[in-house]
Amino acid sequence: MTVSLASGVRTRRRARGPRTTRLSPYLFIAPFFVVFAAFGIYPLIYALQLSFMRWRGAGAAHWVGADNYLYLLTSPDFWASLGNSAVMWLLIVPIQVVAGLGGAVLLANAKLRLRGFFRVAFIAPFVTPLVAMAQVWIVVFDQDYGLINYALNLVGLPDVGWLTSTTWSKPTLALLFLWKTTGFAIIILLAGLQAVPGGVYEAASLDGASRWRQFWSITVPLVRRSMAFLVVIQTLAVFQMFAEPFVVTEGGPYGSTTTAGLYLYDHITASDLGTGAANSFLLVLLVFGLSLISVRLLRPKDEVS
């Protein structure tokens, strides 16, 4: 009887053991899902609900249906902010992809002298605080006392309102964004280049392909995935751009640098939280559509159906 009881206990322990082992991984990752649900899913659902309400941050929220979305879609200021962001995208992303790919090719060249120094130099602006760089930009591009206009005066050229004219304010901000983030683009594309097998270039050299032919026929096609990833990330960053216009131009002159991100911030400061939530979801849909187009255009040819 004692033997049978002991064997029964061992049998129950063996039966309980594998089940505990199967549950252990889920118990270890459970904190992540709890935190993600609390700080990711719940705020997203709440913001979506808030986009259909009128709420000033205090008191009761009133259901208004699609009024917030209709207000934005018929607002000239909303479309102007999207237009400003679109112009900034054209001034930033194509240039950054080209410059990033060129810089990555140079840094991937084993014969380049001071390669380590250049890698640090390219990434240094990316890790520099943006507000500090923006203050430097204000000083350098000041119309009356800026270094750029001082250099123009030395060669007999007139002052330029880099930050005070509607013509030059966007290119000046775009230049700040390029200076800040091109190092990040180079790192992304350099990682893509390092995944390209070296034997491909050796075979192309044996076949008599020039360096330009190797770049156009091997490098560009094989880093398309990295280029698509970069375009998606930078599209999101450009349409969320806030700190640059907020610190440097405050959205001026005459709203010419009021980006979509800064326009969204204006709703938050005005305590129009319902309209701000609706604005954020419209931006999500816009960036999602642009990202799909970019990925489709840049995907490798062997993936095209």
**Does some domain include residue 32?**
no
In this structure, what CATH number is given to the domain that contains residue 157? Answer: 1.10.3720.10
3-state class of 63 per DSSP? strand
**Domains in the chain: how many in total?**
1
Give start and end residues of each alpha helix (H) in the chain: 2-36, 42-50, 67-73, 76-108, 115-127, 130-140, 147-154, 169-194, 198-206, 211-214, 220-222, 224-239, 243-248, 260-269, 273-298
Euclidean distance between CA atoms 13 and 18, whole angstroms: 9
**Does some domain include residue 242?**
yes
DSSP 156: T
pLDDT above 90 coverage of the chain, percent? 21
Tell me the per-residue pLDDT of 127-143, one tens digit each, with 9 for 90 and over: 888 888 888 899 999 88
The predicted pLDDT at position 69 comes to: 92
Q: Measured in whole angstroms, how far is the alpha carbon of residue 265 from the centre of its chain?
A: 18
**Does some domain include residue 6?**
no
**Does some domain include residue 259?**
yes
The predicted pLDDT at position 204 comes to: 80
Tell me the per-residue pLDDT of 15-51, one tens digit each, with 9 for 90 and over: 455 555 677 788 888 888 899 888 888 888 988 898 8
**Does some domain include residue 30?**
no
Exposed / middle / buried, residue 258 (Cβ in 10 Å: 0-12, 13-18, 19+): buried
Q: What angle do CA 63, 69, 73 make, to 5 degrees?
A: 155
The predicted pLDDT at position 4 comes to: 52
Identity of residue 172: T
**Cα dihedral value 238, 243, 247, 248, nearest 10:** -20
* Average confidence score pLDDT of the chain: 83
Tell me the per-residue pLDDT of 229-246, one tens digit each, with 9 for 90 and over: 899 899 989 998 988 899
DSSP 159: P
Instruction: Give the structural domain span for 236.
Output: 71-303
**Does some domain include residue 243?**
yes
The predicted pLDDT at position 87 comes to: 94
The predicted pLDDT at position 18 comes to: 56
**Does some domain include residue 16?**
no
**Does some domain include residue 20?**
no
